Chain A
Amino acid sequence: MYRMIRFIALPLLVLLLLAACGAAGEPTGAGGQDSPATAASTSANAPSAAAESSITASAVASASAGGAAASTGGTTTSGAATTAGGSATFGTQPINIMAPAAPGGGWDQTARAVQPGLAAATNQNVQVYNVPGAGGTVGLAQFVNDHRGNPNQLMMTGLVMVGAIQTNNAPVDLTQATPLATLTTEWEAIVVPTNSKYQNLKELMDDFKANPSAISWGGGSAGSTDHVLVGLLAKEVGADPSKINYIAHSGGGEALSAILSGAVSAGVSGLNEVRDQVQAGQLRLLGVSSDERLEGLDAPTVTEAGYNVTLPNWRGIVAPPDISAEERAAMIAALERMHETPEWQQALEKNGWNDFFRTGDEFTSFLQEETTRLQTVLRDIGLVQ
């Protein structure tokens, strides 16, 4: 009897697992444009890249341009894996984008929004994989070490990573990667529950200045964009940043419920995460970290309220180290074409992102400025020695 069950149950379980992993869908090798080198390549990182790509394979199928994602069967020789310092040139092989965070986060969403546009711009198969952990620094370390010189590997980055590199004292930093382009910004919002005594930003900041530790700020993790904004505000009003009473939360949901429950005096959050609560009259929007007043939003900017602070939560895209100038130019050109695609423009609108497209050296110097600015704030807050 059990013999029969053995024959039925085990293959059944295997099938189920495959189905669950989405691996039953599409392995990653793309159609005719594959260079012969791809199939033969078995670098040290091949197994992990192959498995990663199997996870997002279903995403590829639905998003890649022109139905180029022909399945070739067999998941072991993934087109994703290319040897370090390989002979590949940009645009001749499938492109991988690492989202250095879990599915669903800002980097993941941005990477998946880039995917269709970039596929159209390069006529290549583009796939997204996730390496979550520690504000993106786990992914960064892997990216810089494993993909040196490979122009078909890209990674999302942003303000959060710049901060995390410093607070986590990461051994690898962004200067090692090759900056390509910034893509989006999102603005930060300062909110209080509707029944709070603070009617405007000035009242809140006056109390904050008088006794910094009496105001508790609810927001995301320590050293996050939310925390940085509070630090910048403290410096602006002349309060001691090391006295900030910042209550860190591990996720947006947790922070939002702390703000709504009135546990904290005020909350700092991405504008998009609180927009609905503001509209529904549960939260009062005291200020937005943008440089200009936003359309369709009845709230002043922080600058308008008299505090000279703007803070964009920007996201961008980088390539591995050791990319030649020609390759870099080709990649930037592809991103410029991606930027013009209707897919990308729609994604911007749908996600409430602001267009913030700065390429090449402009991005490099922007990155330097941001690194310095964050270093100072994080040191003032006491997160970085």
Chain B
Amino acid sequence: MDVWNSLLNGFATALSPEYLLLAAIGVTLGTLVGVLPGIGPALTVALLLPITYNFDPTGAFIMFAGIYYGGMYGGSTTSILLNTPGESASVATTIEGFAMAKAGRGGAALATSAIGSFVAGTISTIAITFVAPAVAQLALLFQPADYFALTVLAFVSVTALVGRSLLRGMLSLFVGLFVGLVGIDVLSGQTRFTFGVRELLDGLDIVVVAVGLFAVGEALYVASRMRYAAEEIVGVKGSVWMTRDEWRRSWKPWLRGTLIGFPLGSLPAGGAEIPTFLSYSLEKRLSKHKEEFGRGAIEGVAGPEAANNAAFSGVLVPLLTLGIPTSATAAILLVAFQIYNLQPGPLLFQNAPDLVWALIASLYIGNVMLLVLNLPLVRIWIKLLEIPRPLLYSSILVFATLGVYSLANSVIDVLIMYGIGLVGFFMRRYDFPVGPTVLGVILVPLMEAQFRRALSISQGDLTIFLRRPISLTILLLAVAAVLLPYVPALIARLRGKKRTEGRFVFGSGSED
């Protein structure tokens, strides 16, 4: 078969010692920058672009692919251990991951995230190999109305994030919605909530918000508690690795996460964050251990981690086949292609088959390398928890500051991060969940822009959301996702039985 031949040729190229070395450097570097809050793969690849002047294209791309995948593997580490996600796509992991770490299962959380990333990465690389052109067609089917429906579906997942109190969850969401509106409105070019600060014109970077809320907020919170509570070292309870039961509970979320992440990641404007939140809420719905959610359910780590890795691979599909960059990293990769006079897009597979297939082969190799690199690292990372808190959190603050500053060389960004960190501190202090805020910041610009684009195209006709089959289907799914949890209670009520639960509230548990 043609694909097999090309792929084997790709492997032959990628397995040469020089390229293997570059792949190893890439995945190591990627893992490390993933661990550091604020510094993501996009920035790293951008900084390394100049090396492309010295390397041949294949070598450079193999390295970039390693950084790209490695960033996703590493992003989960600090989320799980320290409650400070390295990038926005690991925010969903934080919720259950940090709870697991507090319960002494940090090792298992890291392991399930590494193996989940491997499973998702491998499956989606296979998908890139064989069905990329078909998946690319999917991207061409989606129009603004459909994207809007997709954001509505993602919004439903907020019900899984609000925690115990609906009121607090909603307040937190609205903070996020407000922050998401700051900046120049994409469609009209008008500025909103910028208060004359030029640096706010492009809005608040999601990384600034996430790092502020989580890393700074957590550091301040820990600092405020230090005087009262004796330093509690979260050791590892039981095995460092996953138990048989944890394996059993992980494999389905891995597969489901991959299934959600890959197609959504391949949609322009899909991004890697939405699938992680969708996966989280799906796992919460399907889990047999609902009571564990919020206290460290392994499904809540396995699903989102698989989803973000699969989404990252998905992003490569429109980049390679259509020439459409759908994430910041993909945009930088596009530039790297152009430096070599290669235009990713419909003609890339014809014009530079050697490079493309070597790149795809290196994705397989990179995944294996990352697994081999990350599993032993679990034992080392877990030791992070034994570093005394003052040292640990002050270094987190240093890295967060450097990382955010390096995004745009802007001191104002750093100040904003600390401002948001203060808000994050009070949210934590008064028991507001921070997940909905991040979801709000991510979703609102997308949702608003797509809604208005759809209406602008239909010249104000609201039925466009119902006339398009894709949009209609997704909207119905969203409605079902909201209503289904109440159906059993409703049936019970109709039968005249007493309601077993208290009041109807979003999420599980009762309202404060």
Which A residues contact B (CB, under 8 angstroms)?
1-2, 5-6, 9-10, 13, 16-17, 19-22, 48, 51-52, 55, 58-59, 61-63, 102-104, 109, 129-134, 137-138, 141, 167-168, 170, 213-214, 216, 221-223, 245, 247-254, 256-258, 260-264, 275-277, 279-280, 282, 350-351, 383
**Min CB gap B454→A, angstroms:** 8
B-chain residues with CB within 8 Å of residue A1 when the two chains form the complex: 386
CA distance A93 to B136 in the complex (A): 50
Which of A10, A254, A277 is B345 in contact with, Cβ under 8 Å? A277
**Min CB gap A60→B, angstroms:** 8
CA distance A258 to B145 in the complex (A): 11
| A249/B143 in contact, CB under 8 A | no
Check if B432 is an interface residue, CB within 8 A of chain A.
no
A-chain residues with CB within 8 Å of residue B325 when the two chains form the complex: 251-253
The verdict on A104 contacting B331 (CB below 8 Å), with A19-B32, A256-B323, A257-B322 known, is yes
Check if B406 is an interface residue, CB within 8 A of chain A.
yes
- Which are the 3 A-B pairs with shortest beta-carbon distances? A222-B189, A280-B346, A134-B201
| B:103-120 near A, CB below 8 Å | none
Closest to A224 in B: B189
Which of A19, A167, A245, A253 is B331 in contact with, Cβ under 8 Å? A253
Which of A9, A62, A247, A276 is B453 in contact with, Cβ under 8 Å? A247
The verdict on A138 contacting B453 (CB below 8 Å), with A17-B36, A249-B186 known, is no
CA distance A252 to B411 in the complex (A): 28
Jot down 20 A-B pairs with beta carbons below 8 A, ordered by A.
A5-B387, A6-B391, A9-B384, A13-B399, A17-B399, A21-B402, A51-B405, A58-B51, A61-B50, A133-B199, A216-B456, A251-B325, A254-B269, A256-B324, A257-B142, A257-B326, A260-B322, A276-B343, A276-B346, A277-B345
B-chain residues with CB within 8 Å of residue A282 when the two chains form the complex: 346
Contact pattern, B 127-151, Cβ under 8 Å of A = 1, otherwise 0: 0000000000001111110000000
| B39/A223 in contact, CB under 8 A | no
CA distance A252 to B191 in the complex (A): 21
The verdict on A104 contacting B335 (CB below 8 Å), with A19-B29, A55-B47, A168-B201 known, is yes
CA distance A346 to B410 in the complex (A): 33
Contact pattern, B 157-201, Cβ under 8 Å of A = 1, otherwise 0: 000000000000000000000000000111111010000001101
Closest to B141 in A: A261
- B interface residues, how many (CB within 8 angstroms): 71
CA distance A10 to B388 in the complex (A): 12
Check if B5 is an interface residue, CB within 8 A of chain A.
no
The verdict on A277 contacting B346 (CB below 8 Å), with A2-B388, A17-B402, A21-B402 known, is yes
| B347/A280 in contact, CB under 8 A | yes
B-chain residues with CB within 8 Å of residue A279 when the two chains form the complex: 346-347
**Min CB gap A244→B, angstroms:** 11
Closest to B67 in A: A20
* Given A131-B408, A256-B268; 18 other pairs, CB 8 A cutoff: A17-B36, A51-B406, A55-B406, A58-B47, A62-B54, A133-B202, A138-B199, A167-B189, A170-B198, A245-B459, A251-B325, A252-B325, A253-B318, A254-B268, A257-B139, A260-B322, A261-B139, A279-B347
| B198/A248 in contact, CB under 8 A | no
| A62/B50 in contact, CB under 8 A | yes
Closest to A10 in B: B395
| B:318-340 near A, CB below 8 Å | 318, 322-326, 330-332, 334-335, 338
A-chain residues with CB within 8 Å of residue B322 when the two chains form the complex: 256-257, 260, 277
The verdict on A104 contacting B54 (CB below 8 Å), with A5-B387, A19-B29 known, is no
Which of B184, B331, B411 is A168 in contact with, Cβ under 8 Å? B184
The verdict on A263 contacting B144 (CB below 8 Å), with A132-B202, A254-B269, A282-B346 known, is yes
The verdict on A16 contacting B184 (CB below 8 Å), with A58-B50, A263-B143, A275-B343 known, is no
| B409/A51 in contact, CB under 8 A | yes
The verdict on A104 contacting B47 (CB below 8 Å), with A9-B383, A213-B459, A279-B347 known, is no
| B32/A20 in contact, CB under 8 A | yes
**Min CB gap B206→A, angstroms:** 13
Query: How many residue pairs between the two chains, A and B, have CB atoms under 8 Å in the bound complex?
Result: 200
| B:372-406 near A, CB below 8 Å | 383-384, 386-388, 391, 395, 399, 402, 405-406
Check if B490 is an interface residue, CB within 8 A of chain A.
no
B-chain residues with CB within 8 Å of residue A276 when the two chains form the complex: 323, 343, 345-347
Check if B504 is an interface residue, CB within 8 A of chain A.
no
CA distance A51 to B403 in the complex (A): 12
CA distance A280 to B185 in the complex (A): 34
The verdict on A103 contacting B387 (CB below 8 Å), with A253-B324, A256-B323 known, is no
B-chain residues with CB within 8 Å of residue A277 when the two chains form the complex: 322-323, 345-346
Check if B247 is an interface residue, CB within 8 A of chain A.
no
CA distance A351 to B386 in the complex (A): 52
Contact pattern, B 398-431, Cβ under 8 Å of A = 1, otherwise 0: 0100100110111100000000000000000000
Which of B53, B338, B345 is A280 in contact with, Cβ under 8 Å? B345
Which of A62, A248, A258 is B53 in contact with, Cβ under 8 Å? A62
Check if B46 is an interface residue, CB within 8 A of chain A.
yes
A-chain residues with CB within 8 Å of residue B347 when the two chains form the complex: 276, 279-280
CA distance A254 to B334 in the complex (A): 14
**Min CB gap B137→A, angstroms:** 10
| A260/B50 in contact, CB under 8 A | no
CA distance A256 to B334 in the complex (A): 14
A-chain residues with CB within 8 Å of residue B258 when the two chains form the complex: none
A-chain residues with CB within 8 Å of residue B139 when the two chains form the complex: 257, 261
Closest to A223 in B: B189
| A250/B334 in contact, CB under 8 A | no
Check if B307 is an interface residue, CB within 8 A of chain A.
no
| A5/B140 in contact, CB under 8 A | no
Check if B500 is an interface residue, CB within 8 A of chain A.
no
| B331/A22 in contact, CB under 8 A | no
CA distance A263 to B386 in the complex (A): 55
| A351/B338 in contact, CB under 8 A | yes
CA distance A340 to B323 in the complex (A): 32
| B201/A222 in contact, CB under 8 A | no
A-chain residues with CB within 8 Å of residue B199 when the two chains form the complex: 133, 138
Which of A22, A48, A170, A249 is B48 in contact with, Cβ under 8 Å? A22
| B402/A214 in contact, CB under 8 A | no
Check if B282 is an interface residue, CB within 8 A of chain A.
no
Closest to A275 in B: B343
B-chain residues with CB within 8 Å of residue A252 when the two chains form the complex: 325
Closest to A171 in B: B198
CA distance A48 to B414 in the complex (A): 13
Check if B49 is an interface residue, CB within 8 A of chain A.
yes
The verdict on A21 contacting B47 (CB below 8 Å), with A104-B335, A257-B139 known, is yes
Closest to A250 in B: B186
| B457/A134 in contact, CB under 8 A | no
Closest to A384 in B: B189
| B36/A48 in contact, CB under 8 A | no
